[in-house]
Amino acid sequence: MRDRTTDGVLFASYNIHKCVGTDRRFDPGRVADVIAEIGPDVMALQEADRRFGDRAGLLDLAALRERTGLVPVPVANGHLGHGWHGNLVLVREGVVRKVRQVSLPGLEPRGALLADIDLDAGGVRVVGMHLGLLRHSRLLQIESLIDHAVEADDRPVVVMGDMNEWRRRRRSALSAFAPRFGPPGVGVPSFPAYFPMLALDRIFARPNTILGPVEAHDTPLARRASDHLPIKARITLGAAFDTPAPRANGAGA
């Protein structure tokens, strides 16, 4: 068995596009197959619920747990959905200490899911989110997220999800993360899945020294299962706060 305290904990983020693939076919089993390919320890999903109507969850969570060992952190959403505004955080092995469901500002209904989890490698605050389509909304949402995610404690923070931001440098709303999480970097292309060009999906960490290179999980199955590719990175929780020097968030962040 891999020693996660030295090799790092594998984090991943995946916008599953309501389980509709690039071939326009609804296939939750195919999404589960991609998740199994990745084999993450902690994962954030976006668009895991129907957006309208009964807003039901779209995955077979029992089957996913049987196959991957991943279980969702608990949420109270008042409907049949898996997550909060379609956001779902899954963990393989750990103790969930605290969960917060945050409604984000902006014209569209958006939210973020924050979970304090104790893993074998150490404690971590995981933030899964799906930001809005408008830049002004994204700026407000990032400001709100930072206020919730960065507290007066030593728990490292991993923020991941679909940021919906394709701009770079000063034009990018992601520059608002820089004072607390370090420079966002150029990102790794994850959209569209069949020919990835835009780095819409991101992983950030605080302190950013714990974040390894961010990569897209680019396989033939992943290119069909959703319109986004998953992204992944190893987090070395044992190194949290060892080295304060800032840097860009991983080679692909």
233 token code pair: 């990175």
SS3 at position 145 = helix
SS3 at position 194 = coil
Host domain of residue 55: 8-239
Position 140 scores a pLDDT of: 95
In this model, does residue 245 exceed pLDDT 60? Answer: no
Cβ burial 120-132 (10 Å sphere, 16+ → b, else e): ebbbbbbbbbbbb
In a domain, 86, yes or no: yes
Confidence band of 240 (pLDDT split at 50, 70, 90): low
Q: What is the pLDDT of residues 150-186, one digit of tens each?
A: 876 789 999 999 999 998 877 899 999 999 999 898 8
Q: Which amino acid is at 223?
A: R
In a domain, 249, yes or no: no
In a domain, 91, yes or no: yes
Higher pLDDT, 145 or 245: 145
Query: Mean pLDDT over residues 33-51, rounded?
Result: 94
- DSSP single-letter state for residue 196: -
In this model, does residue 248 exceed pLDDT 50? Answer: no
In this model, does residue 93 exceed pLDDT 80? Answer: yes
Query: Mean pLDDT over residues 126-133, rounded?
Result: 96
- Percent of the chain surpassing pLDDT 70: 88
Query: Mean pLDDT over residues 92-118, rounded?
Result: 93
Q: Are 161 and 201 in contact (CB under 8 A)?
A: yes
In a domain, 250, yes or no: no
Within 8 A by CB and 6+ apart from 136, the residues are 106
In a domain, 46, yes or no: yes
In this model, does residue 1 exceed pLDDT 70? Answer: no
CATH number of the domain that residue 91 is part of = 3.60.10.10
Within 8 A by CB and 6+ apart from 204, the residues are 158, 159, 160, 177, 181, 182, 184, 211, 249, 253
**126: part of which helix (H) or strand (E)?**
strand 122-130
Confidence band of 232 (pLDDT split at 50, 70, 90): very high
Instruction: Among 4-13, 21-30, 89-98, 181-190, name the one with the lowest average pLDDT.
Output: 4-13
In a domain, 117, yes or no: yes
Q: Are 177 and 184 in contact (CB under 8 A)?
A: yes
Confidence band of 5 (pLDDT split at 50, 70, 90): very low
In a domain, 33, yes or no: yes
Within 8 A by CB and 6+ apart from 29, the residues are 60
In this model, does residue 53 exceed pLDDT 60? Answer: no
At residue 150, what are phi and psi to the nearest 5 degrees? -100, 105
In this model, does residue 47 exceed pLDDT 80? Answer: yes
Domain count, the chain: 1
Position 6 scores a pLDDT of: 46
Position 243 scores a pLDDT of: 44
In a domain, 248, yes or no: no
